Amino acid sequence: MTVRTSYMLAALLVAVPLASAQSNRGNKPAAAPPAAKKLFCWEEKGQRICSDALPADAVNVARDEISASSGLRTGGVDRALTEEERAQAALTAQQAQIDAAAADMRRRTDAAMLLSYRSEDELRRVFDERTAIVDNNVRTARYNTVSLREGLISLLQTAGDNELAGRPVRKEVAASIHQRHAELVRTRRLQQSFETQRAELDVEIADILQRFRAMKGISPEQAEDAALKPSPPPAPTPARK
């Protein structure tokens, strides 16, 4: 039964359960105490609602859990995320993973630069895998953007033809248009994020190469001459006996 907060809390403060005055007879074990009841309180149309049962339409709403015996808050549940918020959270988590990988790469590169790499070619190989991943992300995002845009245009054309012919646009088509547009907006943001990462990666590689040259005492002229020389062929793999 749902009631307003003021009436419910007033009833809670007045109606204090009485303790049983009778003792157990013989050696029979005492009965287990009943489970503590709790109330659910949430906002609905600007008003605070409390109930000892949670209705189906309030399952995804933020709510507080209150002890029925003490009237004190014992917990709470945040509201369920929308589809757009879940997508944004996934994007944020993906961005955090990429940032962590970049920070780890910088640490490993700086620590091993002087000890492990004798030339710029060897140092550049450190970035090959990371560059390939970002390039693949950019290509995939661009492809998805084009695909979603073409699908959205097709749906809009279908809806427009129906309206011009005096036919109503079905709810399924309108819902698909709304969903496809939201996906296109998210994919464009993801594409812009990947393209920004790619540009920043080029700047980072140039900065590390400059630091490497300074630590190795390589002048810009020497670095330019080395870049013009063809890379040596890979060493042949020894045959197994």
Same domain, residue pair 135 and 155: yes
pLDDT mean over 176-191: 91
Domain that includes residue 156, residue range: 83-220
DSSP H or E segment with residue 74: strand 73-77
The answer as to whether 237 is a domain residue is no
36 falls in which pLDDT band (50, 70, 90)? low
In a domain, 208, yes or no: yes
102 with 203, same domain: the answer is yes
Give the bridge partners for 47, in sequence order: 44
Q: For residues 132 and 54, state if they share a domain.
A: no
Q: Is residue 225 part of a domain?
A: no
Q: Within this chain, do residues 138 and 94 fall inside the same structural domain, yes or no?
A: yes
Residue 21 has a pLDDT of 43
Same domain, 46 and 164: no
When divided into structural domains, the chain yields a total of 2
- Does one domain contain both 61 and 155? no
pLDDT in tens, 8-20: 444 444 444 444 4
Cβ–Cβ under 8 Å, residues 77 and 62: yes
Q: What is the reported pTM? A: 0.45
Would 178 be classed as within a structural domain? yes
Cβ atoms within 10 Å of 15's Cβ, excluding its own: 9
- Residue 180 maps to a domain: yes
